[in-house]
Amino acid sequence: MKALVLDGCREGDYLAMEAVLEMTTALAGRVDDVEVVKLRELVISACAGCFGCWTRTPGECVVQDDAATVLRSYLGSDVVAYITPVTFGGYSSLLKMMLDRCIPLLDPRFTIVGGEVHHLLRYRRYPKTIVLGTLPSPDAEAERLFASLVARNGFNFHRTFEAEVLVGVPDPPSARQCAERLLDRIGVSA
């Protein structure tokens, strides 16, 4: 079993970096291979919104940068963990930019899911996804927005994305417990 960790934190964000470390350690105890991608070290351009990934080069972004490698790793993984500081209830700009570049993973045609119009899935198999957000202090509204955003992103992939928010400066055991709970919820056992 293979896992991919998308590290969406900036250098010096020790709370998010602790979450990355503990998620990686928790995954290493449950899967055979863990790949950590530090998005801050890659060249990932913003989505151009051209939809060339649906029309000119179906399933592949026309922008040539590091996002293509990340998408290949994403599709080759059984589990993907997004780690991000919660920013105004959303993802970090680094993670958001990468997630915007996931449009090629969907089909341009539509279907009805749960009474809503959504894109068809391009592939038969997608990884289970967990999301660990971090907040330096309690913010109920940011946590609520984050949970809603993650749920809606999961719905776009016709599945459930599990999420938790780590609040405050955690000790490593509490960060690890948070990671372990997320893995338990998606059925990735030790």
3-state secondary structure 162-184: EEEEEECCCCHHHHHHHHHHHHH
Q: What is the pLDDT at residue 185?
A: 97
Task: Report domain extents, the chain.
Answer: 2-185
**Residue 44 backbone zone (phi > 0: left; psi -120 to 50: alpha; other: beta):** beta
Residue with tokens 């991919």: 4
Question: Treating both helix axes as pointing N-terminal to C-terminal, what angle do 172-185 and 14-28 enclose, rounded to 10 degrees?
Answer: 50
> Would the pLDDT of 169 be above 80?
no
Using alpha carbons, list the distances in angstroms from residue 189 to 62, 82, 162, 182: 38, 19, 15, 11
3-class secondary structure per residue, 107-131: EEEEEEECCEEEEEECCCCCCEEEE
**pLDDT of residue 189 exceeding 80:** yes
AA letter at 51? F
Give the tokens for residue 2.
């293979």
pLDDT tens digits, residue range 125-155?
Answer: 999 999 999 999 999 999 999 999 999 999 9
pLDDT at position 20 is 96
Q: Which fold has domain 2-185?
A: Rossmann fold (3.40.50)
For residue 45, what is the DSSP state? Answer: P
pLDDT at 53 over 90: yes
**pTM for the full model?**
0.96
What are the pLDDT digits (tens) for 81-115?
999 999 999 999 999 999 999 999 999 999 999 99
pLDDT confidence of residue 190:
82
